[in-house]
């Protein structure tokens, strides 16, 4: 058995470790998780649904083969729409993530925990 002297080894004990089990049961954390799920589940379902639908439609039907403008078919419009949807979801998620971060910080402050800033 090896005994390590923590002072000499440079290992430092965390001075302000929160009780994560208590935080998980808190009202603030429960509201945060509920709000995240309310946003993420529909977003993921929309994203995956539209991306999976595209190859199915172009493989098994010829609905998107019709001309949109000139030689550009509806397949190209749908594909471009997927890019637009992706960038839109990323932008919306970034704004929502800032809100989720703020809620997480408020929850941690309720338990007198301030995250150490790395400089």
Residue 5 maps to a domain = no
| 73: enclosing H helix or E strand | strand 72-73
Give the chain's domain count.
1
Instruction: Tell me the average pLDDT across 111-117.
Output: 68
Closest CA to 78 of 61, 92, 90: 61
Residue 14 maps to a domain = no
Give residue-wise pLDDT tens across range 63-86.
Answer: 999 999 999 999 999 999 999 999
Containing structural domain, residue 36: 26-110
Residue 44 maps to a domain = yes
Residue 39 maps to a domain = yes
Q: Residue 9: its pLDDT value, please?
A: 53
Flag whether pLDDT at 2 surpasses 80. no
Residue 102 maps to a domain = yes
DSSP state of 71: T
Higher pLDDT among residues 4 and 37, named by residue: 37
Flag whether pLDDT at 43 surpasses 80. yes
| pTM, entire model | 0.68
């Amino acid at each position: 058995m090896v005994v390590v002297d923590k002072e000499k080894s440079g290992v430092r004990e965390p001075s302000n470790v929160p009780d994560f089990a208590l935080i998980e049961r808190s009202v603030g954390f429960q509201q945060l998780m509920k709000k995240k799920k309310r946003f993420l589940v529909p977003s993921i379902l929309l994203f995956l649904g539209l991306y999976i639908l595209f190859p199915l439609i172009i493989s098994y039907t010829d609905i998107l083969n019709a001309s949109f403008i000139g030689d550009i078919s509806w397949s190209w419009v749908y594909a471009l729409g997927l890019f637009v949807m992706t960038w839109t979801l990323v932008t919306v998620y970034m704004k929502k993530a800032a809100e989720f971060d703020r809620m997480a910080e408020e929850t941690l402050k309720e338990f007198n925990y301030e995250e150490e800033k790395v400089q």
